[in-house]
């Protein structure tokens, strides 16, 4: 009995070439994915990077009820990312004479608020605006007023004093929420600025 072996036809030269190229792309892509995953530190590292990307946004929300309650009762609860840690330590260490007022807290509350401010200070934050604050400061510089931070001074230098100091509804740069309509949410975008008695500001 004759037995005929059926063989699969060999792919043409052109088809074989295309298949090889496609396989090379797939294998190369897999190597790139594995390499990137490893560089990111696996699943944990990937998550940290994603969180870090969010932290580097311009928004600087304040997420601490105690700080908002105790400090926000007298003025805007300024985002800790607007001053370096050394500034917050100085400020929180002199609450008995806080720009002429006694703003002392219970010892345990003072420790908790100081810890929050220092941990989220400009030089320990991944936020984009915080990085700009830090870059504007000299080594060791520790301004006690946010209005003394060079970056913030520079951002407002084109606004006439009549719209700030001469404006009874503003009076000082320290009253961020007088013009920054979303300051309470930690947003200081120029698109959210509305100067009382003037309106939107476009520099």
How far, in Å, CA of 10 to CA of 12, rounded? 6
How far, in Å, CA of 142 to CA of 144, rounded? 6
The secondary element (H helix, E strand) that includes residue 195 is strand 194-195
pLDDT value at position 7? 52
Contact call for residues 125 and 55 (beta carbons, < 8 A): yes
- Tell whether the model's pLDDT for residue 54 goes beyond 50: no
More confident residue, 70 or 5: 70
Strand partners, 199: 195
83 burial type by CB count under 10 A (0-12 exposed, 13-18 middle, 19+ buried) = buried
How far, in Å, CA of 105 to CA of 86, rounded? 19
- Tell whether the model's pLDDT for residue 178 goes beyond 80: yes
User: What SS3 class is residue 100?
Assistant: coil
pLDDT value at position 57? 54
Among 10-19, 39-48, 162-171, the range scoring the smallest mean pLDDT is 39-48
Contact call for residues 195 and 170 (beta carbons, < 8 A): yes
Stated pTM of the model? 0.70
In percent, the amount of the chain with pLDDT more than 70 equals 72
Mean predicted lDDT score pLDDT of the chain? 83
- Tell whether the model's pLDDT for residue 42 goes beyond 80: no
* Residues 5-27 pLDDT 10s: 455 555 555 665 666 676 766 67
Among 59-63, 92-96, 140-144, the range scoring the smallest mean pLDDT is 59-63
More confident residue, 39 or 148: 148
Residues 6 or more apart in contact with residue 85 via CB below 8 angstroms? 117, 118, 121, 122, 123, 124
């Amino acid at each position: 009995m004759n037995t005929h072996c059926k063989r699969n036809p060999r792919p043409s030269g052109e088809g074989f070439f295309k298949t090889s190229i496609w396989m090379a792309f797939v294998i190369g892509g897999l190597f790139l994915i594995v390499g990137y995953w490893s560089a990111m530190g696996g699943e944990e590292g990937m998550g940290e990077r994603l969180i870090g990307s969010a932290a580097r946004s311009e928004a600087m929300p304040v997420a601490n009820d105690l700080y908002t309650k105790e400090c926000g009762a007298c003025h805007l609860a300024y985002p800790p990312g607007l001053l370096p840690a050394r500034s917050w330590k100085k400020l929180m260490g002199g609450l008995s004479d806080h720009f002429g007022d006694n703003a002392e807290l219970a010892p345990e509350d003072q420790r908790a608020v100081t810890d929050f401010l220092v941990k989220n200070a400009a030089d320990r934050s991944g936020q984009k605006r915080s990085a700009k604050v830090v870059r504007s400061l000299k080594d060791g510089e520790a301004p006690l007023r946010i209005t003394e931070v060079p970056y913030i001074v520079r951002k407002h230098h084109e606004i006439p004093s009549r719209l700030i100091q001469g404006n009874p509804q503003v009076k000082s740069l320290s009253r961020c929420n007088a013009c920054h309509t979303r300051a309470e949410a930690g947003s200081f975008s120029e698109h959210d600025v509305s100067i009382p008695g003037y309106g939107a500001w476009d520099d």
